């Protein structure tokens, strides 16, 4: 990860500056305060460069300044720091503002892939800061500890107590996070066990539901099959009745076909014309015949009505039987078996219809009986008159025969109509039966849908239970890993050799190998073969004192630098992304010429490792560093940046 451009506006001591911090090698940063001769380089803004980088990325400086404290005192507003971050071929621009005219107090992030620019800024600075964290790949402490070493960031490690050194080493190694991780791991394990219990219980409930639904499907099929059988029986009975009527209609059609109604009418009319020749007798006879015919017509009509009444009686009786047959059958709406009381209204209506038909039939019977007596009387009167008439008996007998044929014809036509009416009624009944909906079909579909959903839910529940079981096992293992006997002990075992190796490397250069500093995290316990934690740095000078206290001031400074740089290297290894930058703020202070030269060798080596190393110093370093970047505060508080390459 590189930082090719850092733009600063009205930040701390700097009013305006643009600095390239990528692949610069070893660079000295020096200050010049031309606006205050008594300050020399102090207040020029040398240290503001590292602070600006940290503030742009994390909202706080390397030295802990935040809020309006970072705004340049002279200007009092318009604070802005923008830094380009290159990671994996992608460039991000992170810009933070404070009391800025356009940027206000906001944080903005954009991404450039060489062709397009994408705004990654979120709705709030908190969310945008999470984006920055993902880009940088580390927290402020890890970032600052990785790239920055200064007087304020360089603790006196060898002189620290066991407790203080332990806290510092564990924080640098990331061990302090393990206690919180251990707590969270236990909470996660408890939650995973609870979720596993719930998931397993839910799966068991769904399994029971599945078995219940399977039983419901079997019961529903039995009921549905019984309903279909009953419907088929009713359809078969109705079809048999229709077939019988069709046979009877065919027979009647053959009988009707045997008559020639037009010829009969014509023959009757011819006889009537002949009979009309006997005027008065015929008139009187006609009257008598008319009376006879009227009574006969009345009888015939009454008989036809009686036939229809009898059909109505039969139909009503069938309806009553059909209503009674519905008792115990499932309701078409709810599927519950119907009771006698629930079909009572239909039965009562059918019974009233039957009673009315019977009463009407009885009345017709009485009427026919009376009419037949009247007919006999009318025939007698006619015959008596006819006996005294001029003899046209042959014609009359023929006419009577013809009338009888015509009556028989009308009777068969009437019978056919009655049969057709009955057939139409049966057809409607068949269509009604066919249109009936199996009340168990919808129920079966619903049960089927419930079963399909249950099967899907059950599979998901079993999968969740399996996942929960795996998660619970993993969380238990995580608890073990983050326990005091787990990864914490392993990390400390790795940390000590690393610190010793790095400290030895730096001291070898700074002191020609005359000074040794050994980090220790474990010491033998009272019980043989056991160890206990104790953090310390044992220092020895092969040419002098045997402890840190006995070293000279310069030697102590070298030990402090070496142990601090080693600790900083440890912090750097904890960053998830390598950062190609190192800033040393006045770490050369109080070193003699030899120590300064050796430190420059270390920093030059670090520049080859990191790509860019900036050394902020009050000292003249041109003998050791070819590149110099001077931050000058000119009259009026403005900032001037000058870069010189020797």
E-only strand ranges, 88-229: 90-98, 107-112, 117-119, 148-150
Q: How far is the CA of 442 from the CAs of 332, 407, 621, in angstroms?
A: 11, 57, 93
The total number of residues shown for the chain amounts to 646
d(CA 525, CA 533): 9
Burial of 526 (0-12, 13-18, 19+ CB in 10 A): exposed
What does the pLDDT look like over 8-31, one tens digit per residue? 999 999 999 999 999 999 999 998
The closest alpha carbon to 249, from 48, 420, 59, belongs to 420
- Model confidence at 529, pLDDT cuts 50, 70, 90, reads low
Cα 329 to the center of its chain, rounded Å: 45
Please name the residue that has the structure tokens 């025939």. 379
Residue 536, classed as helix, strand or coil, is: strand
Which alpha helices (DSSP H) does 388-486 contain, by range? 393-435, 439-482
What does the pLDDT look like over 245-254, one tens digit per residue? 999 999 999 9
Residue 175, classed as helix, strand or coil, is: coil
CA angle, corner 337, sides to 331 and 343, nearest 5?
70
Please name the residue that has the structure tokens 């890890």. 142
The closest alpha carbon to 230, from 322, 138, 126, 109, belongs to 322
What separation, in Å, do the N-terminal and C-terminal C-alpha atoms of the chain show? Answer: 28
Q: How far is the CA of 516 from the CAs of 151, 269, 445, 520, 552, in angstroms?
A: 22, 155, 85, 13, 14
pLDDT at 105: 95
The residue-averaged pLDDT of 187-211 equals: 90
d(CA 52, CA 70): 9
The closest alpha carbon to 536, from 524, 550, 526, 522, belongs to 522
The residue-averaged pLDDT of 488-502 equals: 79
The residue-averaged pLDDT of 166-177 equals: 67
More confident residue, 568 or 320: 320
The closest alpha carbon to 231, from 438, 424, 423, 427, belongs to 438
pLDDT at 487: 67
Q: What pTM was computed for the model? A: 0.52
List all residues 6 or more positions away from 620 whose beta carbon is below 8 Å from its beta carbon.
30
- Model confidence at 585, pLDDT cuts 50, 70, 90, reads confident
Residue 53, classed as helix, strand or coil, is: helix
Please name the residue that has the structure tokens 């014509």. 266
- Quick one: which H or E segment has residue 20? none
pLDDT at 617 over 80: yes
d(CA 547, CA 447): 86
Residue 541, classed as helix, strand or coil, is: strand
The residue-averaged pLDDT of 283-296 equals: 88
Please name the residue that has the structure tokens 């402890």. 547
List all residues 6 or more positions away from 575 whose beta carbon is below 8 Å from its beta carbon.
137, 138, 142, 143, 146
* Average confidence score pLDDT of the chain: 86
Residue 195 gets the label, from left (phi > 0), alpha (psi -120 to 50) or beta, of: alpha
């Amino acid at each position: 990860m590189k930082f090719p451009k850092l733009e600063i506006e009205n930040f701390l001591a700097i009013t305006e500056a643009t600095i390239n911090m990528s692949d610069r090698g070893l660079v000295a940063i020096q200050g010049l305060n031309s606006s205050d001769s008594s300050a020399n380089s102090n207040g020029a803004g040398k240290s503001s460069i590292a602070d600006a980088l940290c503030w742009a990325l994390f909202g706080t400086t390397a030295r802990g300044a935040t809020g309006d404290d970072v705004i340049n005192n002279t200007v009092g507003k318009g604070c802005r720091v923008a830094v380009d971050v290159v990671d994996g071929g992608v460039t991000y621009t992170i810009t933070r503002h404070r009391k800025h005219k356009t940027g206000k107090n906001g944080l903005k992030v954009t991404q450039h892939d060489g062709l397009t620019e994408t705004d990654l800024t979120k709705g709030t600075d908190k969310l945008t800061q999470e984006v920055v964290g993902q880009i940088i790949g580390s927290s402020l402490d890890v970032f600052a500890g990785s790239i920055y070493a200064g007087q304020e960031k360089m603790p006196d490690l060898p002189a620290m107590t066991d407790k203080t050194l332990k806290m510092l080493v564990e924080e640098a190694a990331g061990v302090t996070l393990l206690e919180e991780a251990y707590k969270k791991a236990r909470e996660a394990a408890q939650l995973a066990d609870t979720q596993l219990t719930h998931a397993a219980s839910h799966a068991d409930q769904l399994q029971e539901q599945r078995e219940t639904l399977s039983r419901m499907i079997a019961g529903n099929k039995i009921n549905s099959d019984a309903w279909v059988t009953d419907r088929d029986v009713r359809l078969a009975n109705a079809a048999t009745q229709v077939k019988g009527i069709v046979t009877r209609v065919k027979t009647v059609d053959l009988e009707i076909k045997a008559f020639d109604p037009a010829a009969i009418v014509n023959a009757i009319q011819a006889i009537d014309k002949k009979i009309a020749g006997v005027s008065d007798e015929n008139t009187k006879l006609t009257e008598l015949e008319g009376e006879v015919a009227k009574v006969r017509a009345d009888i015939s009509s009454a008989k036809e009505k009686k036939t229809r009444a009898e059909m109505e009686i039969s139909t009503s009786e069938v309806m009553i039987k059909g209503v009674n047959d519905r008792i115990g059958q499932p309701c078409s709406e709810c599927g519950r078996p119907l009771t006698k009381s629930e079909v009572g209204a239909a039965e009562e209506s059918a019974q009233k219809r039957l009673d009315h038909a019977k009463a009407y039939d009885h009345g017709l019977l009485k009427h026919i009986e009376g009419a037949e007596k009247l007919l006999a009387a009318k025939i007698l009167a006619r015959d008596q008159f006819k006996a005294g008439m001029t003899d046209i008996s042959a014609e009359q007998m023929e006419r009577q025969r013809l009338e009888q044929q015509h009556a028989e014809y009308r009777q068969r036509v009437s019978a056919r109509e009655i049969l057709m009416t009955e057939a139409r009624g049966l057809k409607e009944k068949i269509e009604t039966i066919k249109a009936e909906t199996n009340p168990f079909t919808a129920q079966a579909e619903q049960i089927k849908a419930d079963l399909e959903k249950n099967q899907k839910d059950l599979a998901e529940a079993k999968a969740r239970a399996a996942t929960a079981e795996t998660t619970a096992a993993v969380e238990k293992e995580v608890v073990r890993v983050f326990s005091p006997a787990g990864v914490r002990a392993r990390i400390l075992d790795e940390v000590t050799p690393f610190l010793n190796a790095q400290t030895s490397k730096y001291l070898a250069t700074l002191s020609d190998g005359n000074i040794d500093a050994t980090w220790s995290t474990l010491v033998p316990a009272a019980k043989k073969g056991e160890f206990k934690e104790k953090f310390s740095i044992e220092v020895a000078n092969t040419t002098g004192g045997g402890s840190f206290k006995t070293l000279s001031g310069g030697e102590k400074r070298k030990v402090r630098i070496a142990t601090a740089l080693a600790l900083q290297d440890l912090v750097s290894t904890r960053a998830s992304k390598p950062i190609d930058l190192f800033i040393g703020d006045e770490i050369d202070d109080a070193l003699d010429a030899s120590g300064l030269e050796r430190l420059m060798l270390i920093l030059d080596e670090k520049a080859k490792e990191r790509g860019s190393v900036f050394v902020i110093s009050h000292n003249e370093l041109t003998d050791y560093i070819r590149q110099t970047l001077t931050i000058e505060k000119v009259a009026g508080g403005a900032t001037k940046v000058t870069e010189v390459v020797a």
